[in-house]
Amino acid sequence: MIPQQDEPTPFCAWSDDYQVGIQRIDRQHDGLFSTLNKLHDILMSHGDQIVIDKTLSSLIDQTRVHFHDEEALMQTHDYPGYQNHKEMHEILLRQVEGVLETQHELETYHLQQSWAEKLDLADFLREWLISHIVDSDKKLGTFLKSKKVE
């Protein structure tokens, strides 16, 4: 869809190049883009920490469900790149958990991460998501389509 002229470009803009071709996966990626955009908007407007935490944990929950679904599809169809792909998912989750742990530690001492650091996390997630879709999920999509998955 062509954006309206007065509509600002979203932080994480969808492109047809990100289309994997498997309905469930594409729908979930679209949902991740939306939540990431929501998180970015809240951070840009220096929103309330409770709202940031809620949005971030919803993004993490969505990501877990999505990774689980991709991994289940890989297993069902004996995807040869399963181990590697699963490992990439696990590394990302560990990295995000590390960031959250640091945040909680800071809060224990009544300190806050700077807005720049919070925005770094959103940037990192956007770069990770896009490159993972283009480099890995699209390969999986091609494989699943060859197995007649829609």
Query: Residues in the site for Fe ion, rule: CB under 5 A?
Result: 70, 137
Question: Computed from CA positions of residues 71, 74, 75, 81, in that sequence, does the dihedral angle turn out positive or negative?
Answer: negative
Q: Supply the angle between the helices 49-76 and 23-44 in degrees, to the nearest 10.
A: 160
In the bound state with Fe ion, the residue whose beta carbon lies nearer, of 48 and 61, is 61
3-state secondary structure of 110: coil
In the bound state with Fe ion, the residue whose beta carbon lies nearer, of 11 and 33, is 33
In the bound state with Fe ion, the residue whose beta carbon lies nearer, of 137 and 144, is 137
CB-count exposure of residue 17 (10 Å: 0-12, 13-18, 19+) = exposed
Cβ at position 140, least distance to Fe ion in Å: 7
In the bound state with Fe ion, the residue whose beta carbon lies nearer, of 63 and 103, is 63
CB-count exposure of residue 25 (10 Å: 0-12, 13-18, 19+) = buried
Radius of gyration in angstroms for the set of CA atoms belonging to the chain, rounded to a whole number = 17
Cβ at position 123, least distance to Fe ion in Å: 18
Cβ at position 59, least distance to Fe ion in Å: 13
In the bound state with Fe ion, the residue whose beta carbon lies nearer, of 53 and 97, is 97
Cβ at position 15, least distance to Fe ion in Å: 15
Cα–Cα distance measured from residue 40 to residue 107, given in angstroms and rounded to the nearest whole number: 21
Cβ at position 20, least distance to Fe ion in Å: 7
As a residue count, the chain comes to 150
Q: Which residue is nearest to Fe ion (CB)?
A: 137
